[in-house]
Homo-oligomer: A and B are copies of this chain.
Amino acid sequence: MKPEELSIDCLGQPSIPSPLAIISGRKYIGNDSKILYNPHFGSNQVQTEEQRSLGFELAGPREKLFFDPKKAKVAIVTCGGLCPGINTVIRNLVNHLWQLYGCQNIVGIKYGFNGLKPEPIEKTVKLTPKVVNHIDADGGSYLGCSRGTPPKEEIVERLITLGIDVLFVIGGDGTMRGAFQIYSEIKKRGLAIGIVGIPKTIDNDIPYVKRSFGFSTAVAQAADVIRAAHVEASALMRGIGLVKLMGRHAGYIAANACLSSGHVDFCLVPEISFRLEGEGGLLDLVGRVLDKKSSAIIVVAEGAGQEYFYTSAKQRDASGNEVLHDIGYYLKNLLKKHFSHLTPAVSIKYIDPGYIIRSAPANSTDQLFCARFAHNAVHAAFAGKTGLMIGYWHGRMTHVPLEIVCGKNQLIDPTGDLWFNVLETTGQPVNI
């Protein structure tokens, strides 16, 4: 990544004075206000002058707008799987557009990018503060979701037909890839349609977004489920609680839920491989924990241990995500077999709480966080910025070019604080 790669595209020179009365006497955010990519220093952190100028543009209200809020028509679309907080983002987008900028022409696209097909299944939905007033009390998406991106040309045609000036895209890495393609097609055609992404990833794996909305809620829900597994396992003479959590590429939910619950003996994540058999392998270690305290709790992220499945070809779903093999079910059977000779028998309590976690409404922490993403997306859009996603870095909301987001995943650093904290808390060995 070079400094110039972080520059944000703009549809044109903003010239309309911002209507934000609440700024009065205070400063708008300048486009050159940035936050360092890496604020660490010391003997381990030799930095060149270039590195010292590598930073993300700060999000926030700009003094001049590109779009006239009174005339602009904006659309909101939500894609991919569910995540706590989607409705709070929608509600805050609408309220902010309407009440702060005075933009009253807002439509919701039904069922993800598929709602932007030439012949969509459902019409767009008119969105007003009244319509969205209570939707944040529910989980899920008021607009509905779906996976997959129709051809970018068709989508751009549809945006033109609908007269959309700005499209807010709420979605994960696949969706941001789609958003980048749509943005590129728009740019190719020289259209003045803005594309502003809001990262939605329950796995917390979108790069340059330290914490994504809904993540706090997901961890809280996951920690509750781990407590359930702990209660079940510890009521038995030899009980193993096994919980499969979300995390295709990145084990953030598993790691954080382990830290939050404090009851976990083994945390398995995609970033760190582990042995099953042999001395010091997982099965051996679980046996030792059982001997010591009669119950054991294992948390496994869905993407962990995929190397144990040998397959010739990978399957992909409509979002282009590889279909994972079920490591939870695999471990359950393996553990059962491994301990089948013991009396009293080992009992395995396996919980796969995916839907329960995904569909929860945002907790207080996420309600607030969703608002920040939504508000800054609106500021960016009216300033004419496009081809970007709202990021979150060292406590500040930022602008991140969609281009540098695509095809990457944010992963747990096996040598970093988080994984160290997991090892501290579980007591599991560094190498299993």
Contact = CB atoms under 8 A, between A and B. Distances in A.
A232 B45 contact: no
A227 B276 CA distance: 37
A231 B423 CA distance: 32
Contact of A26 (B121, B395, B415, B429): B415
Number of copies: 4
Nearest to A37: B39
A430 B50 CA distance: 39
Interface string A207-233: 000100000100110011101110110
A158 interface: no
A90 to B, nearest CB: 12
A190 interface: no
Q: Is the interface of A mostly helix, strand, loop or mixed?
A: mixed
Given A39-B35, A60-B417, A359 B55 contact: no
Given A82-B232, A363-B365, 4 more contacts: A22-B430, A30-B42, A219-B365, A351-B355
Interface of A: 21-27, 30, 32-36, 39-45, 52-53, 55, 58, 60-61, 82, 91-92, 96, 99-100, 111, 114, 121, 134, 136-141, 144-146, 210, 216, 219-220, 223-225, 227-229, 231-232, 234-237, 256, 259-262, 344, 349, 351, 353, 355-356, 358-360, 363-365, 367-368, 371-372, 375, 394-397, 414-415, 417, 420-421, 423-425, 427, 429-431
